Each structure stands twice: as structure tokens, then as C-alpha cells.
């Protein structure tokens, strides 16, 4: 994502970034609630949805109206996958996110658990939530991480088929991934230009970092 934005800007596009759980309104509440480990899946889902709604209406929609391309590092599909793994009714989750704008292009960086584990260990390490410890899948964080992420990945793969994600093999080096991302974005923009669509431009979602 950090490499995609400057490239798009050099190509002459206005670009706006947005993440997940970055809304000033709720970031603190979500962090507090996580610290207490006492959220049920319904509350958890609704908090994330409120956070997302806040970002959508204060960042994403205004940026689109201003003619920017919005790069969203994770979008509602992250909630779809997580909620389902945590046991929420998938139909309900989709209804809750019924207000969301459907992205023009979703780039899915697919990875398997075997390749994910070393990257997480080299990075910030395994944390409580990313390891699904709240689901009591195991007392060992490593084992829990593997089980939880395996379920999440299966969910993302199913969502990818359902919503037509463009899948990019994320087991490869950063350069190769970035090259693929740019190719897909450039192809999308070229086809959008041919359709000569007026503003607002397009939203790009990327469902795994």
C-alpha cells in the first residue's frame, strides 16, 4: 500500500488512504474493549461497523467526491471473514454493512499459513487477537494462531470467489507483489477511462495486508 500510493500520484491521480480501525471516534473504545477481552461477537461486529461507517462518511465519501482514488487497506470483507470465524451469522454481517460502498476493485493478497507464520514472527510477532486466542482454540498461542488464520484464509478464499476478488499470490517477494498490484490497478484504470465515467472515481479495496 505504501508503494502503491506514490506510484499512483506520479501517474497524476489524487489518492487517499484509509485503514481499518483508524477512525478517531472509536479507536480508543476498540482498544479499551480489546484490552478487557470481554467483547462478544455481536458487540465486536457492531463496533467495527460503526468505526467503518464513520470513516466511510468522513474520509472515503468526501475523498471520492473530490475526485480521489481511495486505497483502503482492508475493507468490509475483513469483517465478513472475522465475524464468521467468530461465529456471527454471515447474513447478518452483510446486512449490517449494507450501507457500505462496493469497491470497484478488490485486490486480495492470498497467503497460506506456512508463509504467513515467518512473516508475522519477523514482524510484530503474534498478538492475542491475531492469534484468535479469544476463541479459545488452544492455550498455545502458536497453535491457536495457525488454526485461527487457517480458518480466516479459508473464509477469505470463499469471499474472493463470491465477490470476484483479484487474487495475487502474496507468498512471493514484495517486488513481485507490487508489480502485480500495479498491473491490475493500471488495467482497471484504463478500462474505467475507456468507459469515460464521471467523478467520483473508484474505490480500491485490499483485503489482506
Residues that bind a second copy (CB under 8 A): 25-26, 28-29, 32-33, 38-40, 42-43, 46-47, 49-50, 53-54, 56-58, 89, 92, 95-96, 98-99
Going by their DSSP bridges, the two strands 166-169 and 203-206 should be labelled as unpaired
CA dist., res. 188 & res. 195, Å (int): 11
Tell me how far, at minimum, the Cβ of 178 lies from a second copy, in Å: 34
| Minimum gap (Å) between residue 17 Cβ and a second copy | 20
Least CB distance to a second copy at residue 62 (A)? 12
Least distance CB 200 / a second copy (angstroms): 17
d(CA 187, CA 184): 5
* CB closer to a second copy out of 79 and 107: 79
Nearest distance, CB of residue 131 and a second copy, angstroms: 23
Give one DSSP letter per residue of 149-172, joined into a string.
Answer: HHHHHHHHHHHHHHHTPEEEETTS
* Cα–Cα distance, 106 to 208 (Å, whole number): 10
Instruction: Give the side-chain half-sphere CA count within 13 A for 186.
Output: 10
Go through the chain and tell me how many residues it has.
Answer: 209
Instruction: Using the minimum distance from each CB to a second copy, give the nearer residue, 96 or 107.
Output: 96
Nearer to a second copy, 3 or 53 (CB): 53
194 near 133, Cβ under 8 Å? Answer: no
**Residue 200: cis peptide before it, omega within 30 degrees of 0:** yes
44 vs 77, which CB is nearer to a second copy?
44
Q: Which is nearer to a second copy, 10 or 35 (CB)?
A: 35
Identify the three-state secondary structure at position 51: helix
Amino acid at each position: 500500500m505504501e508503494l502503491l500510493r506514490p506510484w499512483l500520484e506520479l501517474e497524476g491521480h489524487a489518492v487517499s488512504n484509509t485503514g481499518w480501525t483508524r477512525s478517531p471516534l472509536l479507536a480508543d473504545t476498540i482498544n479499551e474493549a480489546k484490552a478487557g477481552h470481554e467483547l462478544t461477537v455481536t458487540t465486536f461486529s457492531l463496533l467495527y461497523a460503526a468505526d467503518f461507517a464513520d470513516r466511510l462518511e468522513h474520509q472515503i465519501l468526501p475523498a471520492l467526491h473530490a475526485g480521489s482514488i481511495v486505497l483502503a487497506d482492508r475493507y468490509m470483507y475483513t469483517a465478513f471473514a472475522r465475524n464468521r470465524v467468530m461465529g456471527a451469522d454471515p447474513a447478518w454481517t452483510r446486512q449490517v454493512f449494507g450501507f457500505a460502498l462496493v469497491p470497484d476493485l478488490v485486490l486480495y493478497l492470498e497467503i497460506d499459513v506456512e508463509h504467513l507464520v515467518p512473516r508475522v514472527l519477523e514482524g510484530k510477532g503474534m498478538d492475542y487477537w491475531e492469534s484468535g486466542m479469544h476463541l479459545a482454540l488452544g492455550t498455545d498461542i502458536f497453535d491457536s494462531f495457525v488454526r485461527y488464520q487457517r480458518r480466516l484464509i479459508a473464509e477469505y478464499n470463499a469471499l474472493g470467489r463470491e465477490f470476484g476478488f483479484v487474487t495475487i499470490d502474496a507468498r512471493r517477494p514484495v517486488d513481485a507483489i507490487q508489480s502485480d498490484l500495479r498491473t491490475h490497478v493500471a488495467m482497471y484504470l484504463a478500462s474505467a477511462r475507456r468507459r469515460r465515467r464521471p467523478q467520483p472515481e473508484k474505490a480500491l479495496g485490499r483485503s489482506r495486508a
